[in-house]
A = this chain, B = another copy of it.
Amino acid sequence: MKINNIPFRTIWPDELDRKTIKIIDQRHLPHKLVIEKLLTPEDFVLAIQQMHVRGAGLIGATAGFGMYSAALVAPENDFEKWITKAAKNLIATRPTASNLSWAVNRQLTAMQDESTKDNKINKSYTTACAIADEDADFCQRIGEHGLAIIKEISQQKKGAPVNILTHCNAGWLAFVDYGSATAPIYAAHREGIDIHVWVDETRPWLQGAKLTAFELQEEGVPNTLIPDNTGGHLMQHGMVDLVIVGTDRTTYTGDVANKIGTYLKALAAKDCGVPFYVALPSSTFDWQIRNGIKDIPIEQRSGDEVKYVSGITKTGKTETVLISSPDIKTANYGFDVTPSRLITGLITERGIVAARKKDILTMFPEQHK
């Protein structure tokens, strides 16, 4: 997708030196476009942990390239041990994200099939690129499937704007390209369907205000930024036709871990009769966990993310301000779990499926156990 009308992905190997991986350091958006070079395995761990990159698909893709970076520097005589350590470090960065371990494990399996170090390195490079390409491809397909939902509402409304609410950033900046929740939105916009997006600002990290509103703006999609508290009121008053969110981990029973606050929007959607969809590439499924509320680990982050807010001053300077008393206690849970009963459907690269074990396993029969 585009920034300043230039097409970008969120992660890509350097054009000249494929040992260097480039990312958009998203901490500076929307105020500044900063491209960062990741060179060492430690760079990748830091980039994920400190949220230079974030979002289900992009965390997976970054971990994929991170494993390649580890393979590059692993000593030949201690390759396995080195690589296992790198895998562990990467997986430890963000406990809720499902794509993370999925990508790391895919790399471990891929490298196991090769015998020489050079072959392992080559394999890990092609695998990292494949993970990124597949992510973009799957998101594009999610867009095609989700487009049908928006099209139908648009027809019901006789072309009046379709109002879509989204929480956090499950946009192209959260993936390699297109996004999950935004893919149907971009597809509808490209088809000329009249749409408007309500963007939850998404406290505390403000992914909605800083990223989703920005990327929609850059693509020319009409949008309105709202505090997270607003969605219930809008739904009560018929101002939302559809909710689409992303997910960081989805159980095979259809429970969805997504950015904290998603559960509250799902409750409001249910109460107001608004369809509530979750968009995800299948790499976000967790095929082991049955009960999302009980068993998905929820990341707790620093309380400073709640007490301090960053932005730019009138003079254009980046500044961080304290919004509360300095000595206040805070809690900062990164995600919550929306139970499957509140979800109208899951939009995957293979099509739309009910958030129910039977249907999910029918769509992904290779995961049947």
Contact = CB atoms under 8 A, between A and B. Distances in A.
Interface of A: 30-31, 198, 201-204, 206, 209-210, 213-214, 217, 222-234, 236-237, 259-261, 263-265, 267-268, 271, 293, 298, 303, 306-314, 319-325, 327-333, 335-337
Contact of A322 (B222, B311, B331, B333): B311
Given A201-B203, A201-B306, A228-B203, A322 B332 contact: no
28 contacts: A30-B324, A201-B324, A202-B229, A203-B229, A204-B227, A209-B307, A209-B323, A214-B324, A222-B329, A225-B306, A225-B324, A225-B328, A225-B330, A226-B331, A227-B306, A228-B229, A230-B331, A236-B293, A263-B268, A264-B265, A264-B268, A267-B268, A308-B311, A309-B311, A310-B321, A310-B323, A319-B319, A321-B321
B259 A229 contact: yes
A330 B226 contact: yes
Contacts of A222: 329
Nearest to A237: B293
Closest 5 CB pairs of A and B: A229-B261, A311-B321, A233-B336, A267-B267, A203-B227
Query: Which secondary structure characterizes the binding site on chain A?
Result: mixed
A280 B197 CA distance: 36
Contacts of A322: 31, 311-313
B330 A321 contact: no
Given A267-B268, A319-B319, A298 B233 contact: yes
B263 A233 contact: yes
Nearest to A222: B329
Contacts of A259: 229
A268 to B, nearest CB: 6
Contact of A319 (B206, B217, B321, B331): B321
Quickly give the copy total for this chain.
2
A129 B321 CA distance: 39
Contacts of A320: 313-314, 321
A307 B208 CA distance: 12
Contacts of A309: 309, 311, 321, 323
A264 B229 contact: yes
Contact of A264 (B31, B232, B328, B332): B232
Contacts of A209: 306-307, 323-324, 328
A323 B210 contact: yes
Contact of A213 (B231, B268, B310, B324): B324
Contacts of A268: 263-264, 267
Given A264-B264, A321-B311, A323-B309, A329 B203 contact: no
A319 B320 CA distance: 9
B324 A233 contact: no
Given A263-B232, A264-B232, A309-B311, A225 B321 contact: no
A226 B305 CA distance: 10
Residue among A217, A230, A310, A312 having the largest count of chain B Cβ atoms under 10 Å: A230
Contact of A329 (B210, B224, B237, B263): B224
A90 to B, nearest CB: 26
B332 A227 contact: yes
